[in-house]
Amino acid sequence: MIRFNLKSHPLVAIIIMAVSAFSAVAEQKFYTPDQDLDGLKMNTVTQAKLPNVLIIGDSISIGYTGPVTTLLKDVANVQRVKVNCGDTNFGRKNLKNWLGSTHWDLIHFNWGLHDLCYHNPKSKERGNRDKVNGAIAVPLLEYEKNLEALVLQLKEVGATLVWASTTRVPQDEPGRIVADALYYNAAAEKIMKRHGVAIDDLYTTTLGFDSSIAAAAGDVHYTKKGYDKLAEQVAKSIHASLKEAHATPVSSISNPSAE
């Protein structure tokens, strides 16, 4: 009986590569601005003696990952999930794979903006956003249930956890209602307090942002200056949590504002 490895056949190998590529593209289902995509690149500069930090979140977190990595270059090995982590339904489906086999010392995470977004298949807005006639992606009660499950799964990793509150929604955003960020953040805050998870309050910070550092009017994204401001806070939050969690000394951030 002749046996052969089907996967070794050139044509089959090409098909497998094509399917894998399609799957990777399919996973990128949540919008990320082109200027923020660099945040998805792997940080290859790691130091064995430094703690490992993982960032999980939407395109806002993708935007601040690069400068956070720079600010913490001698403090921690910062990585992030190589995809926009979207809403909590997407998170529950993929979290196990995102965590991988790495030993994470700290995980800085968020879900929210994609959960509270309204969609209408007839809308011409990017992502079919429509807060007037659309349906919400993940209703608040479902969001609470999902987030509770995600926190329990993250706690199993044994890492220090830091929750990033969902950033502000501007008035003219076509698919999101301003007040919903308050409701979703309030629900998340209860869960985090119940589980003893530290909160990095990016919502309050972004409320104070000048409109000039928004990517555009009605846009939840930011300019480089905006992401740099967020990165400074995220880096300080991660640094403080690492210092509190580890008995061994953690290096200082020399001067974040100068980066």
Residue 240, domain member (yes or no):
yes
Q: Please give the mean pLDDT across all residues of the chain.
A: 86
DSSP secondary structure letter of residue 160: E
Q: What is the pLDDT of residue 15?
A: 41
DSSP 104-158: -SEEEE---TTTT-EE-TT--SGGGB-TTT-EESS-HHHHHHHHHHHHHHHHTTT
The fraction of the chain above a pLDDT of 70, given in percent, is 80
Per the DSSP assignment, residues forming a β-bridge with 129 are 119
DSSP 253: -
Mean pLDDT of 245-252: 67
Instruction: Please tell me the predicted confidence (pLDDT) of residue 45.
Output: 76
Residue 11 has pLDDT above 60, yes or no: no
Please report whether residue 4 resides in a domain.
no
What is the C-alpha separation between 223 and 231, in angstroms, rounded? 12
Res 9 pLDDT > 90: no
In angstroms, how far apart are the furthest CA atoms of the chain? 73
Q: Tens digit of pLDDT for each residue in 58-111?
A: 999 999 999 999 999 999 999 999 999 999 999 999 999 999 999 999 999 999
Q: Which H, E and C letters describe 205-237, residue by residue?
A: HHHCCCHHHECCCCCCCECHHHHHHHHHHHHHH
pLDDT at 115: 98
pLDDT given for residue 253 in this prediction: 73
pLDDT tens, 20-35?
333 333 344 776 666 6
Contacts for 68 with CB less than 8 Å, ≥ 6 apart: 55, 78, 231, 234, 235, 238
Q: Would 83 be classed as within a structural domain?
A: yes
pLDDT at 46: 83
Asked whether residue 11 is domain-assigned, the answer is no
Is the pLDDT at 17 greater than 90? The verdict is no
Cα 232 from Cα 202, distance rounded (Å): 11
Residues 6+ apart with CB under 8 A from 141: none
Give the span between the Cα atoms of 243 and 256, in whole angstroms: 17
Is 23 part of a structural domain of the chain? no
- How distant is the alpha carbon of residue 123 from its chain centre? 26
- Can you give the pTM of this predicted structure? 0.84
Q: Is the pLDDT assigned to residue 19 strictly greater than 60? A: no
- Assigned token pair, 40: 């998805």
24 falls within a domain: no
Reading phi first (left if > 0) and then psi (alpha if -120 to 50, else beta), residue 112 is in: left
CB 193 within 8 A of CB 150: no
pLDDT tens for 140-186 read 999 999 999 999 999 999 999 999 999 999 999 999 999 999 999 99
Q: Which domain holds residue 227?
A: 31-258
Number of domains in the chain: 1
Whole-number percent of the chain with pLDDT over 90 = 75
**What one-character-per-residue DSSP string does 81-93 give?**
-SS---SHHHHHH
For residues 195 and 150, give the distance between their C-alpha atoms in angstroms, rounded to a whole number.
12
Instruction: Tell me the three state secondary structure of residue 183.
Output: helix
CATH number, domain with residue 223: 3.40.50.1110
Stronger pLDDT, 120 or 14, i.e. the higher one: 120
Residue 234, domain member (yes or no): yes
Predicted confidence at residue 246, as pLDDT, reads: 73
Q: How confident is the model at residue 8 (pLDDT cuts 50, 70, 90)?
A: very low
pLDDT in tens, 42-52: 666 789 999 99
The one-character DSSP state at 175 is: T
Q: Is residue 6 part of a domain?
A: no
User: Between 180-194 and 140-155, two packed helices, what is the crossing angle to 10 degrees?
Assistant: 30
Q: Distance between CA atoms of 175 and 189, rounded to whole angstroms? A: 23
